[in-house]
Structure 1
Amino acid sequence: MKIIVLSDTHMPKKAKKLPSILLKELNNADLILHAGDWQTMEVYEELCRYGKVEGVYGNIDSQEILEIFPEKLILTVKQFKIGLIHGHGKKWTTEKRALFAFQDEDVDMIIYGHSHIPKIAHENKCLLFNPGSPTDKRRQKQYSFGIVTAGDMLEAKHIFFDEKD
């Protein structure tokens, strides 16, 4: 199962359209996950053209998004439990806030955003994944999004690119 993972699209402020490299990957996605800061519902509507979309809201999302999406979500994908959260807040780092949000849950993976910093790490038996941003790299060298493969195990990787065209 191929899962495309996005966060922090910030559209239309940071881009008028999703990058072509991302659109190409969306064409054969089984599931699309968005970890917040969509900014507008148009991003959700566009992603829905490619398949099933699940997501959470972020700290700059519109009221409409806040009414549709939860702050945090746990999805069961195959035999795996995946926690999804944006990760914004006032205490700790974004990663620590994401871990704290699911501390009482038995999740195999936590996907978070907010920092725009791509990251893959392990905390105990949990895979932590921040896809970065496909439209707002901030101080990162490249734009990015993620692909998670759910088979016998969960595997995550980043797709890095230079131009958001």
Structure 2
Amino acid sequence: MKIVVLSDTHMPKKGRTLPGKLLRELDSADYIIHAGDWQTIELYNELGKYAEVKGVTGNVDSPELKAKLNSKEILVVNDFRIGIVHGHGSGKTTERRAQDAFKDERVDWIVYGHSHIPVLKELAGTILFNPGSPTDKRRQKEFSFGIMTVTDVVRAEHIFYSDRT
């Protein structure tokens, strides 16, 4: 099972179209996870043409998205529990807020966004995965998104690129 993982697309403000590298991966996706800051519901609808979308709202999302999506979700795939949250708020780091969102629930992975900083690491038995942003790299060297492959284990990787075409 292939899951394409996104966050912080900020469309159409940071791009009118999705990057070609991302579009090629979406063609073979079984699921798409979006960890918030889509900006408008049009992107949700566009992603739904490729695969089932599981997403949450971020701090800049439209009222239409906030009416459709929750601020936190858990996706269960092959008995793995993947927590999804944007990670915005006050106090603590983005990573800490993402962890705290699931402190009373069992999750194997936490997918989060907000910082636009790609992260893949394990803390206290839970894997933390921030895909970065495919359209707004901010202070990062490259744009990025993630791919999770789920079999009897879950593997994740970042896809980095410098050209959004």
User: What is the TM-score normalised by the length of structure 1?
Assistant: 0.99
Q: Deviations over 1:118-152 (max 9, x none)?
A: 00010121110000000000000000000001111
The separation in 1 between residues aligned to 2:129 and 2:17, in whole angstroms, is 24
Moved over 4 A (4+): none
Give, as a single letter, the amino acid of the residue that structure 2 aligns with 1:24. R
The separation in 1 between residues aligned to 2:46 and 2:161, in whole angstroms, is 21
Q: Quote the RMSD (CA, aligned, Å).
A: 0.5
The separation in 1 between residues aligned to 2:111 and 2:17, in whole angstroms, is 23
Give, as a single letter, the amino acid of the residue that structure 2 aligns with 1:148. M
The separation in 2 between residues aligned to 1:138 and 1:58, in whole angstroms, is 17
Structure 1 residue 75, shift from structure 2 partner: 1.2
Size of the aligned set, in residue pairs, is 165
SS at match of 1:157: strand
Pairs within 5 Å for 1:11-50: 11-50=11-50
Q: Deviations over 1:66-96 (max 9, x none)?
A: 0000000011111100100000000100000
SS at match of 2:90: coil
User: What is the TM-score normalised by the length of structure 2?
Assistant: 0.99
Structure 1 residue 104, shift from structure 2 partner: 1.0
Identity over aligned pairs, percent: 58
The separation in 1 between residues aligned to 2:56 and 2:154, in whole angstroms, is 21
Give, as a single letter, the amino acid of the residue that structure 2 aligns with 1:105. E
Match of 1:103 in 2: 103
Pairs within 5 Å for 1:1-165: 1-165=1-165
The separation in 1 between residues aligned to 2:30 and 2:125, in whole angstroms, is 25
Q: Which runs of 5+ in 1 are unaligned?
A: none
Q: Which runs of 5+ in 2 are unaligned?
A: none
